[in-house]
Structure 1
């Protein structure tokens, strides 16, 4: 299957670079005030809705999961890479981190008040993304929020664009197209933040955060 091949390739690639990746991104939020602002808005939305468990899907080495905890959320991380999960458990032994796939989460229906997916769908082939979004919807409780971060395509005529990511083949998405897919999955958009590429960015694509809510 295409999805299986992509998942296996991505897992193996991130396993191979896990220590380097963890070191590179450990302090990434410190220099990203807009990212912190969106995470803060997400955390406030979850708290206002009564709190509850939040999953950081594609958590990598766990630094953002830990930050969600600092914002007052009961957060745990899930990643397909066992090496990443091992590093996360070592760095934050008081938090929960599980190996898992976004296409088949070991999470009960409606168990989560929030889902965070920061750049975790970029390696998902376009034909497989609806199934991932459906899985996000399944595990979220009514009223729960999803914050989805991704690189945006700068060509509105093409809903997706493949590019040569340093780790594995990756995709960027036309924001309106992805927002429509989320809406069709039962997760309508609440807010959006777009960050223009900066001269120092390795990827010269806009960054987009979409905040959605399950009715």
Structure 2
């Protein structure tokens, strides 16, 4: 089994984000304000959750909680889950009125059909291909029938090892780029219906994409 596909990726990801948590939070603090299309996608997600009757929304891979807090400001009952305990400490520090907990998307400790929406905002990018089905199965299980899922990710056909980031701190994480059609196919295999695929920054070297999907009733 290759190193990228072994369980070591979980330990490496956790340790890496523990190391950069404070610097990452400082860099991300104003990120949403500077990304109008991202704000629009989050507003759409919030509107769709409300239209479907509202309910709890899990921000899986929430990091320092800036997106969780933004969803809360949009009127969503959002809470955050992240693999990194230090990230969760920072999220609780910066957003003391919100709920944050340590957890893994490949072993998601949420009750069946317990949430109205789930956001994985540039967090599935660290999950190797052979572990993606487990993560999507947990997403599907935790969402109530008709629940909304939004995935954000880097677009491409390759994986790279990132060894430094966010203030120059050492990291050891693989970043997996995927094509929207590939992600959509994986979602359909996991029992989701695709509602929209958005391509952002298509002229840049690394485009970004967002896929909206819904658990089938």
TM-score, normalization by structure 2: 0.91
Whether the 8 Å contact between 1:116 and 1:148 is mirrored in structure 2 is yes
Query: Residue 46 of structure 1 corresponds to which residue in structure 2?
Result: 49
Residues 129 and 3 of structure 1: CA distance in aligned 2, closer, same or farther (over 3 Å): farther
- Given that residues 115 and 145 in structure 1 are in contact (C-alpha distance below 8 angstroms), is that contact kept between their aligned partners in structure 2? yes
Deviation sequence 1:148-180 (CA, Å, 0-9, x none): 000011xxxxxx411233441110001101100
For the 8 Å contact 1:78–1:99, the answer to whether it is kept is yes
2:77 aligned residue: 74
Match of 1:144 in 2: 147
Q: Give the Cα–Cα distance (whole angstroms) in 2 for the partners of residues 191 and 198 of structure 1.
A: 20
Q: What is the TM-score of this pair, normalised by structure 1?
A: 0.92
Q: Give the match for residue 190 of structure 1.
A: 195
Provide the residue aligned with 1:209 in structure 2: 210
Does the CA-based 8 Å contact 1:3-1:124 persist in structure 2? Answer: no
1:1-215 equivalent positions in 2, closer than 5 A: 2-153=5-156, 160-165=157-162, 166=165, 167=171, 168-197=173-202, 204-215=205-216
- Paired positions, count: 205
Q: Which residue of 1 aligns with 2:168?
A: none
Q: Which runs of 5+ in 2 are unaligned?
A: 166-170
Q: Which runs of 5+ in 1 are unaligned?
A: 154-159
CA distance in 2 between counterparts of 1:138 and 1:22 reads 30
Give the root-mean-square deviation of aligned CA atoms.
Answer: 1.3
Moved over 3 A (4+): 164-167
Measure how far apart 1:116 and its partner are: 0.3
Map Cα deviations across residues 123-166 of structure 1 (whole Å, 9 max, x no partner): 1111110111111000000111000000011xxxxxx4112334
Q: Which whole-Å CA distance do the structure 1 matches of 2:199 and 2:37 have between them?
A: 9
Residue 129 of structure 1 aligns to a residue whose secondary structure is helix
